[in-house]
């Protein structure tokens, strides 16, 4: 099954994609994670992408399209995969459809995570991320056992550059302008399902599971 998770930053797509991996072994293809890993390794692509990401802007389409095109060729993607953070605009969605047409394996379902901007600002501004393993925490609702340290690997927690208040606002504007039109795009293809992403994570998992039936 090929699933697109749509929704603004902080709506919980990444958390749910990781659960789909744990429970169903569907690979999670997160362009945000791929870009952050390139930045950490200091590759040319990472250096190029960082300035866009730090400002809350989308990185150029060709960069993410190439990442996805390469990733879906790996054998673990043959039975299907979950796209988390891609496509992010109409152009990327069109390119994705054409890439999948060649494989004769279209997108089966697009699920949109619905949530208010106010809740997203609360979630993102309190979010802390482990520098080493990428585990996520929240200063209020999911605090680590020891302040500023990851429960899993003991490394430091940081606030991502793009989780700072001015950048959050920019990311939300970009989402509404460029990514939200994809809701209509997948509705027209009869592939869209919606879920209430404000609910607690376990309820969202249940709703997602229904949406994927
Ligand atoms: P995310 O972790 O999905 O919120 O992505 C973090 C940042 O990576 C975004 O704000 C963009 O700068 C960049 N990014 C991730 N996915 C894409 C994409 N499909 N197209 C363009 N930029 C992306």
Which CATH number is 109's domain given?
A: 3.40.50.300
Model confidence pLDDT, tens digit, residues 188-206: 999 999 999 999 999 999 9
Q: Residue 84 domain-assigned?
A: yes
Q: CA-CA distance, 208 to 39, in Å (whole number)?
A: 31
Question: Does residue 54 lie in a domain region?
Answer: yes
Q: How many CB atoms lie within 10 A of CB 109?
A: 18
Is 88 part of a structural domain of the chain?
Answer: yes
User: How many domains does the chain contain in total?
Assistant: 1
When pLDDT is cut at 50, 70 and 90, the band that residue 130 belongs to is: very high
pLDDT at 50: 95
Q: What residues make up the domain containing 69?
A: 2-115+179-211
CA dihedral 175, 78, 72, 188 (to 10 degrees): -30
72 occurs within a structural domain: yes
Residue 49 lies in a domain: yes
67-119 pLDDT tens trace: 999 999 999 999 999 999 999 999 999 999 999 999 999 999 999 999 999 99
pLDDT the model gives residue 37: 93
Q: How far is the CA of 189 from the centre of ligand 1 (A)?
A: 24
Tally DSSP H helices, then E strands, for the chain: 9, 8
161, pLDDT greater than 90: no
Q: How far does residue 163's CA lie from ligand 1's centre (Å)?
A: 12
Q: Decide if 167 is inside a domain.
A: no
Task: With cut-offs at 50, 70 and 90, classify the pLDDT of residue 31.
Answer: very high
According to DSSP, residue 177 is labeled: I
The Å distance, Cα 30 to ligand 1 centre, comes to 9
Atom of ligand 1 nearest to the CA of 171: 10
- Evaluate whether residue 155 is within a structural domain: no
Mutate to test the pocket of ligand 1, among 31, 83, 179, 180 (most ligand atoms within 8 A of CB): 31
* Residue bearing the CA closest to ligand 1, atom 22: 58
State the pTM of this model: 0.92
The kind and range of the H/E element at 128 are strand 127-130
| Predicted local confidence at residue 112, as pLDDT | 98
CA atoms of 145 and 99, how far apart (whole Å):
44
Task: Please state, for a pLDDT cut of 90, what percent of the chain lies above it.
Answer: 93
Buried b (16+ CB within 10 A) or exposed e, 198-213: beeeeebbebbeebbe
Residue 146 within a domain: no
> What tens digit of pLDDT does each residue of 137-155 get?
999 989 999 999 999 999 9
Query: Closest ligand 1 atom, CA of 31?
Result: 16
Check if 27 has its Cβ closer than 6 Å to any atom of ligand 1: no
Neighbours of 85 (CB within 10 A): 23
What backbone torsions phi and psi does residue 158 show, to the nearest 5 degrees?
Answer: -130, 165
Supply the residues annotated as catalytic: 13, 88, 127, 160, 171
């Amino acid at each position: 099954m090929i699933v697109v998770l749509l929704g603004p930053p902080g709506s919980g797509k990444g958390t749910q994609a990781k659960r789909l991996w744990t429970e169903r072994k569907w690979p999670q293809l997160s362009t945000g994670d791929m870009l952050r890993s390139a930045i950490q390794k200091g590759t040319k692509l990472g250096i190029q992408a960082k300035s866009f990401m730090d400002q809350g802007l989308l990185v150029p389409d060709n960069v993410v399209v190439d990442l996805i095109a390469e990733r879906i060729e790996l054998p673990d993607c043959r039975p299907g995969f979950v796209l988390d953070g891609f496509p992010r605009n109409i152009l990327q969605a069109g390119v994705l459809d054409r890439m999948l047409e060649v494989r004769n394996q279209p997108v089966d379902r697009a699920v949109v995570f619905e949530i208010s901007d106010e809740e997203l600002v609360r979630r993102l501004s309190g979010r802390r991320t482990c520098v080493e393993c990428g585990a996520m925490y929240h200063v209020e609702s999911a605090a680590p056992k020891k302040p500023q340290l990851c429960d899993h690997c003991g490394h430091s927690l940081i606030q991502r550059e793009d989780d700072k208040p001015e950048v959050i606002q920019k990311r939300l504007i970009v989402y509404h302008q460029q990514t939200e039109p994809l809701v209509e795009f997948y509705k027209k293809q009869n592939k869209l399902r919606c879920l209430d992403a404000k609910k607690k994570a376990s309820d969202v998992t249940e709703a997602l599971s229904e949406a994927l039936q």
